[in-house]
Structure 1
Amino acid sequence: MLIRPNIFPKSIKDAFVTGFVFIIIPLIYYFEPLVVLPRYYKQWSLWYNFHFFMASIILFNVSSNLLAIIICDTSIRGRVLPTNWTSNWRYCSVCESVAPPRSWHCNTCNVCILKRDHHCIFTGCCIGHENHRYFLVFVFYMFVATVYASYYNVYFLWDYINLGSWSSIAKIVFPLATLFMEWTENQLHVFFIIIVLLGGAFTGALLCFHIDLMLRGVVTFERNEKSKYDRGKMENMKIVLGKKWYLVWLSPWIESELTCDGINWSNAFSEKAK
């Protein structure tokens, strides 16, 4: 893995959103086991320990995959690029370098990204060939975490938050605005619960969208086109997740060699002909 020379967000918007992600993840991890779970299980009982352990495993995968996304350099920097390039290649005047097929220049990162999918404001960097695996697993565990937490959060909200007035409903519909006007422990809990619910809906939709793209062998910019690089669902998955695709869900530190270098692309027909 090549390491990005500068891992910090390049824009104010990226810095704000990425900063929010880095703050809210540990806060939610604190909130769920120490505030919500004790309402249902005696602290350090068997079931409490089980859920605490599961939450810790999920946190490990969320945080470590997030870190891997950010530090992994998926640009053309430091890559050995051929001097005699074909018509599928192009010249990037900003990078002053040739760029392989499926690479795009990101104006925010100010560099061409190998097999660029999109620029992610939640991580402050581009998602491309080298960190695509970490992004998918990160979104997967974020979805698992939010659904897992929401199961208990809904009951917690129903049992321990007063919903008997319009003002109480307004606190749920506008949690952040109400939090600024009424900084109380209960309102902070409502804010966390709504964030988790919205996060579950968002990451669920995002996960379905990107898994569909992966299985079709396309990236976001190619989603409305018939892919020239579609090699079948299994091979498409190995291009993103690597040869050990079945193990990458356990930890980002498990090595899984990608079946393509992100530079030399062949279409499905030429691959089948070999």
Structure 2
Amino acid sequence: MCILTDLCHHYANLYPKKFVDIAHPLSVLTVLVGTAFFFKLQMFVITPFVFNDLLCKVLWIVGAFIVYNILGNQLACYCLDTSVDSLPQDRRTPSAEEEHLWHYCEICQRLMPPRSWHCNLCKCCILKRDHHCVFTATCIGHNNHRYFFWFTFYLTLGTGLSILTTIIYIVKKGYLFDPFPLYRIIFNVEHSKTSDGYSFCEYLIFLLNICACVLPAIMLAFQKRIVYFNTTYYKMCTRTYDLGFTKNCKFIMGERGLWTFISPTLKSPLPHDGTHWETNSSPPSVPVNVK
């Protein structure tokens, strides 16, 4: 995962325009097609075979809720501007007492708020920049971090439940789990199924399901630490802004905290505009409210 991230980061720095033109549509399309494929597979093939009518109806509601949150949070990430230019005009320059906390961006050629830094792909400075996400085709920062967290959460939850129901499906069909059907099929090409029953196509779908669960689960693990300590992806070991879980959670999720899991449309105002950051070594002060 780290090697893959570093390779993408290296290529993106060398060819930013080409990276955006290729990686963004492919990555977003992967999420859309993958979500539709696994939802259809679960609702029309696996669920009716494994569960009774009542449980099928319950799982339809659960599945629709998960898909809604995956796609809704992905869209919210993309639509919300989290750049420094999203600030009101009077907040794009520091006041006299804040000026020493701001830093100069050589590319933008102006002072930027603390915790914001430049993204070569977005071509601007991002408020409390976490990272650039190809699956949402935008940077994750102060204004859209909440939506990215729930995006990874629901991706992990949906694919995890899909793995569970698929295992039940395999067991209920009477298949014996064979971890190496590819080997059997290569050396027995005339057979469409392994000696243990299930087809190579079913095996590949199951492996794809596992991969689709592992990748967002890894990112979710990072995001849990980021939310817990109020840090960012590239400065995960920094505890400078850790003010306790309750405050940290509100800085990312907003005033309603973890209740934002219900829906991306649930309004949860952030406590400030992303230019003022209290540290655990400084006395508390009144932040600038978002207008």
- Check if 1:250 corresponds to 2:262: yes
Is the CA contact (8 Å cut-off) linking 2:242 and 2:248 kept in structure 1? Answer: yes
What are the within-5 Å matches in structure 2 for residues 1-274 of structure 1?
10-42=20-52, 45-79=53-87, 80=89, 81-82=92-93, 84=95, 86-158=99-171, 168-170=181-183, 187-227=200-240, 229-272=241-284
Cα distance change of structure 1 residues 273 and 262 upon mapping to structure 2, 3 Å threshold: closer
User: CA offsets per residue over residues 113-153 of structure 1, 9 Å max, x none?
Assistant: 11001111221211101110001111111111112111111
SS where residue 277 of structure 2 aligns? coil
Could you list the runs of 5+ residues in structure 2 that have no partner in the other structure?
A: 1-18, 186-198, 287-291
CA deviation after TM superposition for structure 1 residue 272, in Å: 3.6
In 2, the alpha carbon distance for the partners of 1:106 and 1:145 equals: 31
Larger mean CA deviation between 140-149 and 190-199 belongs to 190-199
Is the CA contact (8 Å cut-off) linking 2:50 and 2:172 kept in structure 1? Answer: no
Amino acid paired to 2:70: V
Could you list the runs of 5+ residues in structure 1 that have no partner in the other structure?
A: 1-8, 173-185
SS where residue 125 of structure 2 aligns? strand
In 2, the alpha carbon distance for the partners of 1:222 and 1:166 equals: 39
Cα distance change of structure 1 residues 46 and 103 upon mapping to structure 2, 3 Å threshold: same
Is the CA contact (8 Å cut-off) linking 1:61 and 1:251 kept in structure 2? Answer: yes
CA deviation after TM superposition for structure 1 residue 246, in Å: 3.4
- Coordinate RMSD, CA, aligned: 2.7
SS where residue 237 of structure 2 aligns? coil
How many residues align structurally? 251
Amino acid paired to 2:249: M
Cα distance change of structure 1 residues 47 and 55 upon mapping to structure 2, 3 Å threshold: same
CA deviation after TM superposition for structure 1 residue 221, in Å: 2.1
Is the CA contact (8 Å cut-off) linking 1:28 and 1:192 kept in structure 2? Answer: no
CA deviation after TM superposition for structure 1 residue 159, in Å: 5.4
